[in-house]
Structure 1
Amino acid sequence: MIKKILVALDRSEIGQQVFEQALALAKLTQANLMLLHVLSPEAEGSPYVPMFSNFDYYPGLNSQSFELYQKQWDTFKNEGIQMLQFFCAQANTVGVTTEFTQNLGHPGRIICDLARSWGADLIVMGRRGRSGLTELFLGSVSNYVLHHAPCSVHIVHLPITKADQVVKAATNAVSAN
């Protein structure tokens, strides 16, 4: 019986579909939703400036650079909260009990830890579609969660369009020659 669904959201193009599928499941099973956004330097749109403990040691970093970084990071955090509030309001409007949280850290670990501590019965999340060397070097959050989650995991994939199929067929034809 599914009573608690953890929904891992980011601002990628698949986020809306992840939410819609989780909401449909919650309505069907009368489950509660926990919406999660993880603040991570790897996330789309995240400002990246390496954090150093001693700015004087690094000549390129000064207080202006840090202030700019802080402003970008605050904007990034606020956009995440706004996204969560928007989805939470949609779910509450259709009668699904929903709460949200935004945490800082490695997305895979945060998702699994929250699923464990909140007692989730199901995790719903998207997949960016990384494979090969990209996945090897950058990792895959969905792959991590599949292997470490304390409950079932539902992965939402981007639909393959006709244009994607044509490009893939052309790439395969070229590599075969």
Structure 2
Amino acid sequence: MFHKILVAVDRSPMGKQVFAEALSLARSVGASLVLVNILSLEEEECPNMPALMGPNAAYPGGISSSVMEIYQELWQSYAERGLRLLRSLAEEAATAGVPTEILQGIGSPGSTLCELAQTAGADLIVMGRRQHSRLNELLLGSTSNYALHHAPCSVLVVQGRPSPSPVHASEQVTSVTQEGGVLT
């Protein structure tokens, strides 16, 4: 069935859910995992300096060396957080008896994920879906949609579980104790 499963993970709750699903699948079919974290300018946590870079830079004279050093430190910290996540999940998989390797890519998430799947020889990609609004998906694209159409192997998209809706004050349940006291 599946022998090598590439798993796209990040630090979001969806990333944890994707890992759990992939680990369970790998254990049941005897597959190994390739855990992937992609460093991307599209990621919320990514340090970004678009106003300082490129032909329309806010500072036409260029970027000062101190600003560039700070940016490089922020990028290095961002990359290291991704590696720590991968190592932590790899340890968890090893504890569960699943052989695991880690990869960290840089670039557009969809195309980088597909390239890494090809390079790693994966026969399945497991990834999540962020459920962007239709407008955001139109403007930003969808990584899962890209992978479904361009991956060199099968793709399993893990859907997010809806979070329980909070109980509103008007919907609170009132309980009455045997002694006649009211609990809310």
TM-score band, normalised by shorter chain: 0.7 to 0.9
Is residue 116 of structure 2 the alignment partner of residue 85 of structure 1?
Answer: no
Letter of the 1:147 partner, please give it.
H
Letter of the 2:92 partner, please give it.
Q
Partner Cα distance (2:84, 2:164) in 1: 33
* Structure with the higher fraction of residues in helix conformation: 1
Mapping of residues 57-68 of structure 1, within 5 Å? 58-59=60-61, 61-68=63-70
Partner Cα distance (2:86, 2:78) in 1: 13
2:118 corresponds in structure 1 to: 116
Question: What stretches of structure 2 of length at least 5 have no aligned partner?
Answer: 169-184
Which of residues 128, 131, 136 is equivalent to 1:129? Answer: 131
1:139 corresponds in structure 2 to: 141
Q: Could you say what secondary structure the match of 1:92 adopts?
A: helix
TM-score, normalised to structure 2, is 0.82
Identity, in percent, stands at 48
Comparing 75-84 with 122-131, greater Cα deviation is found at 122-131
Mapping of residues 14-25 of structure 1, within 5 Å? 14-25=14-25
Partner Cα distance (1:145, 1:131) in 2: 19
Larger Rg belongs to: 2
Q: Is the 8 A contact 1:11 1:44 kept in 2?
A: no
Partner Cα distance (1:158, 1:42) in 2: 20
Comparing 80-89 with 111-120, greater Cα deviation is found at 111-120
1:157 corresponds in structure 2 to: 159
Partner Cα distance (2:62, 2:131) in 1: 36
Question: What stretches of structure 1 of length at least 5 have no aligned partner?
Answer: 167-177
Which of residues 99, 102, 105 is equivalent to 1:100? Answer: 102
CA RMSD between the two structures: 2.0
